Amino acid sequence: MITLEHVSKVFTSGGQTVRAVDDVSLEVGAGELVVLIGPSGSGKTTTMRMINRLETPTGGRIIVDGRDVLTLDVVELRRRLGYVIQQGGLFPHFTVADNVAVVPRLLGWPRRKRRERAEELLALVGLPPERFADRFPRQLSGGQQQRVGVARALAADPPIILMDEPFGAVDPITRKQLQRELRRIQATVRKTIVFVTHDIAEAFLLGDRIVLMSEGRVVQDGTPADLLRHPADPFVTAFIGEDRGMRALHYTSLAELAAPAGEDAPSDGLALPGTMTVLEATRELGLRGATAGDGIWVTGDAGERIGHLPFHRLAAVLGETLAPEQSGPDPSASPEGEPSDGLPA
Amino acid sequence: MDYLREHPDRVWELTRQHVELVAVTMFFAILIGVPLGIVITRLRWLEGPVIGTTGALYTVPSLALFAMMIPYTGLGRRTVVIALTLYSLLAIIRNTVAGIDGLPAATLDAARGMGMTGTQRLVMVELPLALPVIMAGVRLSVVAAIGIATIAALMGVGGLGRLIFDGISRLDSDRIIAGALAASVLALGADWSLALLGDLLRKDTRASRGWR
Ligand SMILES: Nc1ncnc2c1ncn2[C@@H]1O[C@H](COP(=O)(O)OP(=O)(O)OP(=O)(O)O)[C@@H](O)[C@H]1O
Ligand SMILES: [Mg+2]
């Protein structure tokens, strides 16, 4: 749906050149939610803004729906791409409802339909329309404004949505709620979404794929599980941070750990589906209490046994991933790009 | 004060002429100045020449400007309206440019990002948001034009300047005071009512000020 081929962007201002995006290639499939994450200044916003042509690439090509964006009518392109802008960017002289309905208005929807759509979306993002629809943006908190921004991007039901830190100014509780809401929307309507965030937890929660950027380049592009299990380099490890083990368990399925049952494997024991994650399996074991046998039988889609996972192996996996690593000096700069504190080992 | 009391009709008539002159002037000044300001925000290279020229014009003493124009446009209303319009352009152009330049980048980004055309951006976002600053320029121009228009009485176009110049030639300070006073009151009144109008036109603050 969206393809970036060797895209670069060099800004030149006052004799200085900034390589904001450096040879980025990226593919976002239809219905996929791809998260761009990386330290401040790593080129996430610039990458996103080249997709709806708010910036023009200085190199490479961007293809949306099979067509080079530079050959498309820019106004039409933008109306097909929902856009949540990083700093909110609401129109201060429009009411909240008018802000939400701005693209429908540009598309010539009748007034009543616009109003209905705005109210529907305000309710969706947790702003009761009877209280918020007729206010002006300056009468809203930062987080509320951001939610209006999200509603605005959804208004004309665009197939593709670009979201630049849409929940950045929202409190953690509302944020969780909005993330859940986005997942719910995503599960039902399947938009193609490019989502920029600083928050690694958000990235893992929402992303079908995570693209980690640093200094204008893609450091790693993969599923959450890929990033956890095969970090491309120490920067990725450092960026993912301390919860990596916990997260990894969340993405590791029993099927991946089960080995073909040996001769000595007992025939009895608890059977669990191979799609279950290690975390879910441990919870399940806790709930069942004592079980027969010395491991878990892992079953396939049809309930057939596809392998056996002895308890000692499960314990070893938990131990390896959760126990603090034998860590030497910090392998790289921290995610924020600050130097490590340089204490002697 | 006596003159005012004895000839209210005359003062009123001259005030009316004065207002009409300034109103016609402002009509042209806005008609030319605002579009020129908008064009400058799109074609930046025009800023230097346009602001430079209107700025230079602004420094020419009004009497001299009238005199210079007489050979071309004659002695009368046409000359006065053209000269006053030229004086008014500077503040209007400059404030139009400043008003549009001062809009938050995020708002303009949003306007582009939502897929507004250039015209839609201008009409739906830029002009409404720049309006308070443009109005400030108009107020400045109106007050200046009311003052300069008194001198225009020398060109035979009437207005409150007539009282002042009549007073000077007849050594009648009463008339001078009446004319000056009326012109000042007019300027203050215009300034105040334009400020009020500007507030009414501001949409983003209406609700928070308890309007609606
Ligand atoms: N218009 C511009 N002119 C010059 N440099 C720019 C411009 N826009 C961005 N940059 C530079 O390009 C680099 C990437 O900026 P970008 O906004 O894409 O980063 P980001 O990853 O979105 O950061 P953040 O997480 O802080 O939003 C930065 O070094 C920035 O200073
Ligand atoms: Mg950014």
CATH number of the domain that B76 lies in? 1.10.3720.10
Contact B90, B55 (CB under 8 A): yes
CA distance A184 to A229: 27
Judging contacts by C-beta atoms under 8 Å, the chain A residues touching residue B123 are none
Residue A331 has pLDDT above 50, yes or no: no
As a whole number, mean pLDDT of residues A312-338 equals 58
Amino acid in the structure at residue B96: T
Judging contacts by C-beta atoms under 8 Å, the chain B residues touching residue A91 are 107, 110-111, 124-125, 129
Q: What is the DSSP letter of A340?
A: P
Q: Is A182 on the interface with B (CB under 8 A)?
A: no
Range of the domain at B31: 2-211
Residue A337 has pLDDT above 70, yes or no: no
pLDDT in tens, A235-254: 888 888 767 777 777 777 88
CA distance A272 to chain B (A): 49
The predicted model scores a pTM of 0.78
As a whole number, mean pLDDT of residues A338-345 equals 37
Q: Do A78 and B203 touch (CB under 8 A)?
A: no
Phi, psi of B159 (to 5 degrees): 90, 175
Tens-binned pLDDT, residue by residue, of chain B (212 aa): 678 888 888 888 989 999 999 999 999 999 999 999 999 999 999 999 999 999 898 888 888 888 888 888 888 888 889 999 999 999 999 999 999 999 998 899 999 999 999 999 999 999 999 999 999 999 999 999 999 999 888 888 888 888 889 888 888 888 888 889 899 999 999 999 998 888 887 766 544 443 33
CA distance B88 to chain A (A): 28
Identify the pLDDT of residue A265.
67
Token match 């049809």: residue?
A302
Asked whether A42 lines ligand 1 (CB < 6 A), one says yes
Identify the pLDDT of residue A338.
40
Asked whether A87 lines ligand 1 (CB < 6 A), one says no
pLDDT in tens, A152-202: 999 999 999 999 999 887 888 888 888 888 888 888 878 999 999 988 888
Q: Going by C-beta distance under 8 Å and a sequence separation of 6 or more, which residues neighbour residue A118?
A: A96, A97, A98, A100, A101, A129, A133, A151, A155
Amino acid in the structure at residue B150: T
Work out the mean pLDDT of chain A and round it to a whole number. 85
In angstroms, how far is the first alpha carbon of chain A from the final one? Answer: 49
Residue A316 has pLDDT above 80, yes or no: no
Q: Which range (A16-25, A284-293, B176-185) has the least confidence?
A: A284-293
CA distance B4 to B34: 38
Identify the pLDDT of residue B211.
38
Say yes or no: ipTM exceeds 0.85. no
Q: Is B200 on the interface with A (CB under 8 A)?
A: no
* Beta-bridge mates of residue A161: A82, A193
Higher pLDDT pick, A318 / B115: B115
Question: Considering its fold, how many domains does chain B have in total?
Answer: 1
Amino acid in the structure at residue A111: R
Q: Do A85 and B207 touch (CB under 8 A)?
A: no
Confidence grade of residue A339 (pLDDT, cut at 50, 70, 90): very low
Q: What is the DSSP letter of A34?
A: E
Contact B20, B82 (CB under 8 A): no
CA distance A87 to B109: 10
Identify the pLDDT of residue A332.
43
pLDDT in tens, A120-161: 999 988 899 999 999 999 999 888 898 999 999 999 999 999
Q: Is B112 on the interface with A (CB under 8 A)?
A: yes
In order of A305, B24, B56, B160, B190, the CA distances from B184 in angstroms are 98, 19, 26, 10, 10
CA distance A174 to chain B (A): 24
Q: Which range (A24-33, A331-340, B25-34, B200-209) has the least confidence?
A: A331-340
pLDDT in tens, A38-95: 999 999 999 999 999 999 999 999 999 999 999 999 999 999 999 999 887 899 999 9
Identify the pLDDT of residue A323.
65
Q: Nearest to residue A213, comparing CAs of A195, A188, A186, A193? A: A195
Element (H, E) at A344: none
Judging contacts by C-beta atoms under 8 Å, the chain A residues touching residue B205 are 136, 138
Residue in B114, B128, B207 nearest the CB of A139: B207
